[in-house]
């Protein structure tokens, strides 16, 4: 636990910062540990507590970088594993999530990645761009693309070959501070909470071609199936070792 000693008492209304972080955030991080984590950083609170007290309130996003690497790893797994599914179908409809119209069409890997970004990341800022977009697993139960968001460092990840070949989209959750380090990321999609090189979602190579992996932050949603992005990091997968190499 962080301890700070003062030789005088600050006047009322004075804010105290440690390394640029309000001291209240350190207290909030300790509260999260007491409520939701074991001594070795594993999540022990139930999903309703984690969701209602820390995710939907965005308190967890506020203290995310005050947790340890191990704590972020455990917490990210718990969050991702709570929402494993495939959005098989999508359609458009009324704005403000008032209901879809028309026939369902097939979804895509990119739409599935976008849906995950919108919930786990900073999806609320895109509400006006995608409030007319809907997805479903079975054409019976309908969901708006955005229903809630947690403001955590989750982004879109593209896995591809140059030219014709392999192209796939997944999601990436930052759990360590250096975004250029491949090990700083948890990759996930569909029913897979932890994708690594060699998985079908991220093959070592494809028909002899090099696989590239890039992580990007969506800047704007372009309809219900695409987005404008800003690159965060890029690697290639070594065809012989299946290890990521910075680009």
The pLDDT assigned to 23 comes to 82
- Helical spans, DSSP H, in the chain: 23-36, 47-49, 59-63, 69-81, 109-120, 127-130
> Can you tell me the distance from the alpha carbon of 155 to that of 121, in angstroms, rounded to the nearest whole number?
7
pTM (predicted TM-score): 0.92
Question: Which ranges of the chain have pLDDT less than 70?
Answer: 1-15, 17, 19-20
The pLDDT assigned to 22 comes to 77
Would the CA dihedral through 236, 237, 238, 239 be positive or negative? Answer: negative
Note the pLDDT tens digit of each residue in 119-164.
999 999 999 999 999 999 999 999 999 999 999 999 999 999 999 9
**Burial class (CB within 10 angstroms; exposed 0-12, middle 13-18, buried 19+) of 177:** exposed
Note the pLDDT tens digit of each residue in 156-186.
999 999 999 999 999 999 999 999 999 999 9
The pLDDT assigned to 175 comes to 98
Cβ neighbours for 134, distance < 8 A, ≥ 6 positions apart: 90, 91, 92, 93, 97, 99, 100, 142, 143, 144, 145
């Amino acid at each position: 636990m962080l301890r700070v000693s003062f030789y005088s008492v600050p006047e009322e209304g004075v804010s105290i910062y440690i390394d640029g972080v309000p001291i209240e955030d350190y207290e909030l991080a300790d509260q999260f540990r007491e409520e939701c984590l074991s001594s070795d950083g594993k999540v022990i609170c139930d999903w309703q507590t984690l969701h209602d007290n820390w995710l939907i309130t965005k308190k967890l996003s506020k203290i995310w970088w005050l947790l340890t690497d191990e704590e972020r790893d455990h917490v990210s797994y718990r969050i991702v594993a709570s929402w494993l599914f495939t959005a098989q179908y999508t359609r458009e409809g009324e704005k403000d999530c008032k209901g879809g119209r028309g026939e369902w069409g097939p979804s895509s890997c990119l739409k599935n990645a976008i849906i995950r970004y919108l919930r786990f990341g900073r999806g609320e800022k895109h509400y006006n761009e995608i409030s007319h977009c809907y997805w479903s697993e079975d054409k019976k139960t309908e969901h708006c693309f955005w229903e809630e968001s947690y403001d955590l460092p989750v982004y879109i990840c593209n896995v591809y070959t140059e030219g014709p070949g392999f192209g796939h989209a997944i999601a990436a959750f930052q759990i360590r501070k250096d975004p250029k380090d491949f090990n700083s990321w948890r990759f996930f999609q569909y029913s897979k909470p932890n994708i690594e090189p060699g998985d079908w979602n991220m093959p070592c190579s494809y028909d002899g071609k090099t696989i590239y992996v890039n992580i990007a932050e969506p800047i704007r949603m372009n309809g219900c199936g695409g987005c404008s992005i800003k690159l965060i990091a890029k690697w290639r997968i070594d065809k012989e070792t299946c290890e990521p190499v910075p680009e």
